[in-house]
């Protein structure tokens, strides 16, 4: 198993039925109802991705001041620097604003700091360089919200800063000409999840004015979608509309460099989805910044020359392959360090290495969180100093944790899921101890575990038709806040197993409900999973359409596999969930409800065995004896519920002693009405039955 725990919500048949009556197809309705959407109108609002979702850019705090200062610079012919970041969000933000300002006749200097030499954010050295080039106005995109000292230094050189950012704010806001950030505590803008490129686009729309908003939105929607998806922003509300429109725009982009990159990365004849952007397009753009060549990506997205676009696209793909090789080497080193760490240092992995590539450790941190189910902090060491990248796990707030370690750090920034920091090498042991303490406080000392969140169980595999799976496109685009749906299919038989992609992936055929399904399990091998032909497994999967040589078929993209439980094991597991008070689906509650005949069977057995003393048997022995004595199968879960009801109504005294049940009949007068049982009432209510 890839995940230590699988979790799915209780189903909501009433909401599912209401959504289907409202015209929503079965699989999307199943997902939406599982995620708490119960009414068709609520679903339509959630799924809508029209222009009505876009807010007025002037509602962002300081947007009026930002637009006014930039208009003044345009009118007076000032040299303007667009100061970005080296990730995809920063690169696309830089391109959006640079392209617009150039279209307005501005003197523009796009500036992205070198990841290895300068690090993240506005630096004093960069300000000196820009001042020497005659820049009098710097507009930051996707950075700058923590640049308090740097803003003051720029002012001393006679330069103004307009800051646009989307990262968490510290207590002090820079004294800039304008600070536009939806995360500001005093910002009234209702949608707080814009990416840096989303804020940069808002600035362009503010500069263009109401009459130009539709045209400008169409002009830059492709870049805005790429940056938003790549930065793993929440894809609900305004971002959902932005990305939905942007994905369509990418396919028809008039940017020669972007079109060349689509061809070079194999996307020219494939659907452009959020997954295609996140896993194919964005890593190639990101590789430029990670390898210290962010200007290559900027030029690719800004060039109007198709030949130059082709050249740059090939260069980016080459940089990405180089990045992958470096990443694999650092990942192997990190695993060795993590395995050697004492248990008290494994709540949060704080790993450091000399010579590690600063542009790659963030990806390695993400892989380490997945492998070890805990936050990971990767630090590149050089000359006694460390530059770190970290990734969260299990809801641990990185930004808040770094704030609590501020005394050990030279600087930090980011948000709750991903952040960066600088630290003296001598402070790393204390930082490691403190971070492990903070994780322990967050979890109460319990181990963090990897949890696979599923949406629903597919009880009838026959619903996985080509038409039904195609209907799931209604839920796109997927991302944070609207993850790709994961379903459960129990008790499949493995009909075929084949390693593909040089042994990196596993191709399967699964038999369920009399049907065969092709399945693919990425980043998994036969040895790792232990899966063999003939095995019975439970499959957690995302259904998708596979296209091959013009043939379209349903394919299950496997998220995880586990050995299928026997019927008795499934019943035992369901009963234990009931005992723990976990949420049950109506089907599960119905499966726990004993019939009148089962109550009679258990009672007669107890009456026949009770004298002269109590019954002492394991649950499984009890059900075997019941089945043998009465010639019909006694389900374990319902037999145990029978005993619970008898105990509740005073007919027996029930005790559990390790794996043994101690059952003693109690003297009663008159007839006992089992229908008054609170246990039965609760199970009937959960199952939707009205009772006798």
Both 21 and 112 in a single domain? no
Both 159 and 77 in a single domain? yes
Q: Tell me which of 216, 235, 264 is where a domain ends.
A: 216
Count of residues in the chain: 692
Q: Is residue 119, in this structure, part of any structural domain at all? A: yes
Largest Cα span, the chain: 104
Both 174 and 154 in a single domain? yes
Distance between CA atoms of residues 56 and 72, nearest Å: 22
- pLDDT of 549 above 80: no
Q: Is residue 536, in this structure, part of any structural domain at all? A: no
Q: Strands of 48-204 (E only): list them.
A: 79-83, 107-111, 135-140, 160-164, 178-180
- pLDDT at 223 (0 to 100): 98
- pLDDT of 90 above 90: yes
The CATH number of residue 648's host domain is 1.10.10.10
Both 629 and 649 in a single domain? yes
- pLDDT at 692 (0 to 100): 43
Q: Is residue 381, in this structure, part of any structural domain at all? A: yes
Q: For 14-69, write each residue's pLDDT tens digit.
A: 899 999 999 999 999 999 999 999 999 999 999 988 888 999 999 999 999 999 99
DSSP string, 354-400: ET--TTTHHHHHHHHHHHHSS-EEEEEEETTEEEEEEE--TT--HHH
For 515-526, letters b (16+ CB in 10 Å) and e give eebebbbeebee
Distance between CA atoms of residues 249 and 201, nearest Å: 15
The CATH number of residue 428's host domain is 3.10.310.30
* Of 435, 408, 402, the residue nearest 423 (C-alpha): 408
Based on the structure, what is the number of domains in the chain?
A: 4
- pLDDT of 263 above 50: yes
* % residues pLDDT > 70 (the chain): 99
Both 31 and 60 in a single domain? no
Structure tokens at 271: 């659907």
Both 188 and 79 in a single domain? yes
Name which residue leads in pLDDT, 120 or 397. 397
- pLDDT at 70 (0 to 100): 98
Q: Grade residue 289 by pLDDT with cuts at 50, 70 and 90.
A: confident
Both 32 and 156 in a single domain? no
Q: Tell me which of 216, 241, 259 is where a domain ends.
A: 216
The CATH number of residue 169's host domain is 3.90.1640.30
Both 60 and 40 in a single domain? no
Q: Tell me which of 216, 244, 277 is where a domain ends.
A: 216
Q: What is the domain range of residue 108? A: 56-216
- pLDDT of 201 above 90: yes
Which of 193-207, 208-222, 339-353, 607-621 has the lowest average pLDDT? 607-621
Contact assessment for residue 152 and residue 120, using Cβ atoms and an 8 Å cutoff: no
Both 76 and 169 in a single domain? yes
Q: Is residue 469, in this structure, part of any structural domain at all? A: no
Q: Is residue 3, in this structure, part of any structural domain at all? A: no
Q: Is residue 517, in this structure, part of any structural domain at all? A: no
Is residue 203 classed as helix, strand or coil in its secondary structure?
A: helix
- pLDDT of 690 above 60: no
- pLDDT of 611 above 70: no
For 201-226, letters b (16+ CB in 10 Å) and e give bbbbbbbbeeeebeebbebbbbbbbb
pLDDT mean across residues, the chain: 92
8-state DSSP, 183: T
Both 97 and 21 in a single domain? no
Name which residue leads in pLDDT, 648 or 271. 648
- pLDDT at 526 (0 to 100): 86
587 CA to centre of own chain: 29
Residue labelled with tokens 């876009």: 54
- pLDDT of 209 above 90: yes
Q: Is residue 478, in this structure, part of any structural domain at all? A: no
- Calculate mean pLDDT across residues 470-488: 94
Q: For 634-653, write each residue's pLDDT tens digit.
A: 889 999 999 999 999 999 99
- pLDDT of 685 above 50: yes
For residue 474, give every residue at least 6 positions away whose Cβ sits within 8 Å of its Cβ, in sequence order, or none.
24, 25, 28, 47
* Of 15, 162, 133, 5, the residue nearest 74 (C-alpha): 162
- pLDDT at 77 (0 to 100): 96
Residue 443, Cβ density class (10 Å: 0-12 exposed, 13-18 middle, ≥19 buried): middle
Residue labelled with tokens 């109460």: 444
Name which residue leads in pLDDT, 359 or 398. 398
Both 16 and 136 in a single domain? no
Distance between CA atoms of residues 248 and 250, nearest Å: 6
Q: Is residue 99, in this structure, part of any structural domain at all? A: yes
Both 60 and 42 in a single domain? no
């Amino acid at each position: 198993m890839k995940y230590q725990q699988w979790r799915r919500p209780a189903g909501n048949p009433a909401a599912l039925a209401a959504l289907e009556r409202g015209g929503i197809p079965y699989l999307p309705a199943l997902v939406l109802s599982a995620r708490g959407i119960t009414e068709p109108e609520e679903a339509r609002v959630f799924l809508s991705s029209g222009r009505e979702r876009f807010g007025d850019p002037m509602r962002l705090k300081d947007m009026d001041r930002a637009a006014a200062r930039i208009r003044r610079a345009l009118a007076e012919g000032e040299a303007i620097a667009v100061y970005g970041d080296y990730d995809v969000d920063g690169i696309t933000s830089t391109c959006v604003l640079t392209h617009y300002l150039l279209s307005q006749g501005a003197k523009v200097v796009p500036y992205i700091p070198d990841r290895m030499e300068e690090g993240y954010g506005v630096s004093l050295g960069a300000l000196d360089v820009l001042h020497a080039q005659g820049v009098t106005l710097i507009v930051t995109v996707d950075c700058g919200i923590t640049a308090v000292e740097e803003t003051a230094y720029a002012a001393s050189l006679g330069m103004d800063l307009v800051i646009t950012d989307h990262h968490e704010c510290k207590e002090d806001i820079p004294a800039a000409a304008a600070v536009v950030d939806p995360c500001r505590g005093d910002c009234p803008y209702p949608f707080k999840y814009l990416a840096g490129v989303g804020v940069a686009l808002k600035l362009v729309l503010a500069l263009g004015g109401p009459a130009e908003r539709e045209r400008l939105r169409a002009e830059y929607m492709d870049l805005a979608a790429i940056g938003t998806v790549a930065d793993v922003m929440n894809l609900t509300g305004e971002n959902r509309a932005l990305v939905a429109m942007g994905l369509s725009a990418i396919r028809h982009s008039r940017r020669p460099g972007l079109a060349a990159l689509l061809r070079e990365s194999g996307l020219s004849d494939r659907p452009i989805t959020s997954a295609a952007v996140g896993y194919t397009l964005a890593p190639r753009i990101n590789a430029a910044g990670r390898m210290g060549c962010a200007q290559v990506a900027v030029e690719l997205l800004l060039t109007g020359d198709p030949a130059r676009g082709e050249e740059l696209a090939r260069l980016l793909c080459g940089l990405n392959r180089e990045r992958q090789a470096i990443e694999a080497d650092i990942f192997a080193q990190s695993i060795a360090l993590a395995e050697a760490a004492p248990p008290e240092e494994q709540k949060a992995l704080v790993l450091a290495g000399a010579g590690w590539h600063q542009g790659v450790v963030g990806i390695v941190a993400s892989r380490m969180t997945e492998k070890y189910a805990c936050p990971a902090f990767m630090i590149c060491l050089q000359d006694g100093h460390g530059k770190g990248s970290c990734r969260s796990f299990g809801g641990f707030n990185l930004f808040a944790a770094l704030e609590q370690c501020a005394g050990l750090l030279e600087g930090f920034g980011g948000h709750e899921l991903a952040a960066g920091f600088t630290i003296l090498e001598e402070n790393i042991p204390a930082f490691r101890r403190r971070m492990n303490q903070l994780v322990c406080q967050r979890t109460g000392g319990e181990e963090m575990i990897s949890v696979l969140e599923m949406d629903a169980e597919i009880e009838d595999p026959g619903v996985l038709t080509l038409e039904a799976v195609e209907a799931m496109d209604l839920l796109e685009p997927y991302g944070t806040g609207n993850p790709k749906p994961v379903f459960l299919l129990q008790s499949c038989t493995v009909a075929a197993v084949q390693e593909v992609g040089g042994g990196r992936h596993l191709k399967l055929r699964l038999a369920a409900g009399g049907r065969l399904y092709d399945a693919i399990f990425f980043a998994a091998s036969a040895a790792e999973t232990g899966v063999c032909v003939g095995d019975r497994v439970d499959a957690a999967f995302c259904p998708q359409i596979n296209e091959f040589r013009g043939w379209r078929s349903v394919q299950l993209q496997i998220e995880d596999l586990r050995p299928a439980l026997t019927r008795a094991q499934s019943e035992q597991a369901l009963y234990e969930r009931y005992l723990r008070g976990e949420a049950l689906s109506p089907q599960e509650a119905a499966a726990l409800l004993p019939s009148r005949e089962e109550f009679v069977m258990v009672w007669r057995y107890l009456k026949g065995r009770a004298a002269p003393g109590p019954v002492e048997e394991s649950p499984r022995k009890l059900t075997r004896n019941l089945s043998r004595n009465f010639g019909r199968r006694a389900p374990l879960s319902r037999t145990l519920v029978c005993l619970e009801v008898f105990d509740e109504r005073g007919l027996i005294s029930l005790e559990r002693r390790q794996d043994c049940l101690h059952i003693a009949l109690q003297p009663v007068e008159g007839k006992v009405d089992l229908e008054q049982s609170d246990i039965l009432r609760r199970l009937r209510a959960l199952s939707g039955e009205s009772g006798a």
